[in-house]
Amino acid sequence: MGLLQLLKSQFWILLILSYVFLMSGLVVNLLQLCTLPLWLVNKQLARRINIRLAYCIASQLVAAMEWWSGTECTLYTDPKSYPLYGKENAIVVLNHSFEIDFLCGWTFCERFGVLGSSKVLAKKELAYVPVIGWMWYFLEIVFCKRKWEEDRTTVTQSLQKLHDYPEKFWFLLFCEGTRFTPKKHQISMQVAESKGLPKLKHHLLPRTKGFWVTVQNLRGTAAAVYDSTLNFRNNEAPTLLGILTGKKYHADLYVRRIPLESIPEDEAECSAWLHKLYQEKDRFQEHYSQTGRFPGPVRSPPRRPWSLINWMFWCCVMLYPLGLLLIQLISSGSMFTIVSAVAVCSAVSVGIRWMIGQTEIKRSSNYGIKEAPLNNN
């Protein structure tokens, strides 16, 4: 381990990075709150401002992955589709097998200039989580309760609001509904057998209703579906904690552009189409496990400097008052001040550990375990 890597792995460095992210995130959340009156006067301007405020938060995590850990991202895609990325609205279908697959999706967005406006279909509980959840609320993220009877109306209404969105966006969708685990996979394949569907080796059965509603409501707004399959070299099991402590990974992402008009409008036909898509994704993953690469030509979209510039800006803004506080602590020697500082550091440490914990596979939800045998749609 080199000196720089040793420094990155130190707990106090992690604590500083966590402090910058949490405090800057709360500042951005406050600025987003201040845009509420503007929505009544100029909705499109409020949206554009919130896109840039959201970028201030999301790009910090992307910068940690691209610049701090040095993780490399290789893209396998059709050269004819490559020039269209970032120039059109799209639905991005990602596999859900890794702790940082969401971060790789964000990195994909950042490389093509749509990170600030990117959307996801997220569970309703996340709307109440400070920093990320609050950012998503102002970004008009589509939230769901995972109860189809309630979600159909609310998801449809949220998607309809995106028809006049002022900037290009990608809608990131994990059709499996939950992160892959051996137990969830076993239950999902039992459902596949009961429904007469081909079994998948590397994926769970996709939840077709959410995909169909998304496609139907974004017709005329989104131009294509980007079928994206992610894997990591050398059987790496990347974690967010690993990224924050400077560990380097190498991600490979296979992307196919599928024009939206080629996807059936009928719900049953769309469901069959999505199942076929996941069978193909499974074959791509099997090809990767055997050869160490995806099929097709390789592209390596360059890192953009803006995420690093944004991160450095917030580090300067947030660390300056922290430095003044440390100087005051040293000069005053007040026991109360020292105890207060330790309490704040402890709170930051607990907060960031909780947020990291939400990405860990071992702490993934039971969705897909309790409900899969009853309803896989």
Q: How far apart are the first and last CA of the chain?
A: 47
Categorise residue 375: left if φ over 0, alpha if ψ from -120 to 50, beta otherwise.
beta
Residue 374 scores a pLDDT above 50: no
Identify the band that residue 353 occupies on the pLDDT scale cut at 50, 70 and 90.
low
CA distance 103 to 59: 10
Query: Is residue 283 in some structural domain?
Result: yes
Q: How far is CA 298 from the centre of its chain?
A: 23
Query: Is residue 242 in some structural domain?
Result: yes
Query: Is residue 300 in some structural domain?
Result: yes
Which of 228, 331, 326 has the alpha carbon at shortest distance from 284? 228
Identify the band that residue 357 occupies on the pLDDT scale cut at 50, 70 and 90.
low
Average pLDDT over residues 311-336: 81
Identify the band that residue 368 occupies on the pLDDT scale cut at 50, 70 and 90.
low
Query: What does the mean pLDDT of the chain come to?
Result: 88
- Point out the least confidently predicted range of 45-54, 245-254, 301-310, 314-323: 314-323
Q: Is residue 168 within 8 Å of residue 117, measured between CB atoms?
A: yes
What contacts 302, CB < 8 A, 6 or more positions away? 111
- Point out the least confidently predicted range of 40-54, 110-124, 135-149, 200-214: 135-149
Query: Is residue 342 in some structural domain?
Result: no
**96 or 33, which is more confident:** 33
pLDDT tens-digit map of 10-19:
877 888 888 8
User: CA Rg, the chain, in Å?
Assistant: 21
Average pLDDT over residues 129-140: 92
Residue 133 scores a pLDDT above 60: yes
Residue type, 224: A
Categorise residue 136: left if φ over 0, alpha if ψ from -120 to 50, beta otherwise.
alpha
Q: How far is CA 124 from the centre of its chain?
A: 15
Instruction: Give the CATH number, domain containing residue 98.
Output: 3.40.1130
Beta strand 298-299 pairing with 72-77: antiparallel
Query: Is residue 340 in some structural domain?
Result: no
Average pLDDT over residues 165-180: 92
Q: Is residue 119 within 8 Å of residue 254, measured between CB atoms?
A: no
Q: What is the pLDDT of residue 352?
A: 65
Q: What is the pLDDT of residue 203?
A: 94
Structure tokens at 123: 């569970």
Percent residues over pLDDT 90 in the chain: 64
Strand positions, DSSP E, 137-243: 142-144, 170-173, 224-232
Residue showing tokens 């409020």: 46
Taking residue 16's Cβ as centre, other Cβ atoms within 10 Å add up to: 17
Domains in the chain: how many in total?
A: 1
Residue showing tokens 């390596």: 300
Highest mean pLDDT among 107-116, 128-137, 291-300, 357-366: 107-116
Query: Is residue 69 in some structural domain?
Result: yes
Residue type, 36: L
Residue 276 scores a pLDDT above 60: yes
Q: What is the pLDDT of residue 373?
A: 45
φ, ψ of residue 250 to 5 degrees: the values are: -135, 110
Residue range(s) defining the domain that contains residue 43: 3-307+357-369
Q: What is the pLDDT of residue 370?
A: 53
Average pLDDT over residues 272-301: 93
Query: Is residue 336 in some structural domain?
Result: no
Query: Is residue 33 in some structural domain?
Result: yes
Average pLDDT over residues 39-67: 96
pTM, rounded to two decimals = 0.88
Alpha helices in 35-125 (DSSP H): 36-41, 43-63, 101-111
Q: What is the pLDDT of residue 4?
A: 80
Residue 372 scores a pLDDT above 50: no
pLDDT tens-digit map of 214-269:
999 999 999 999 999 999 998 888 998 899 889 999 999 999 999 999 999 999 99
Average pLDDT over residues 269-291: 95
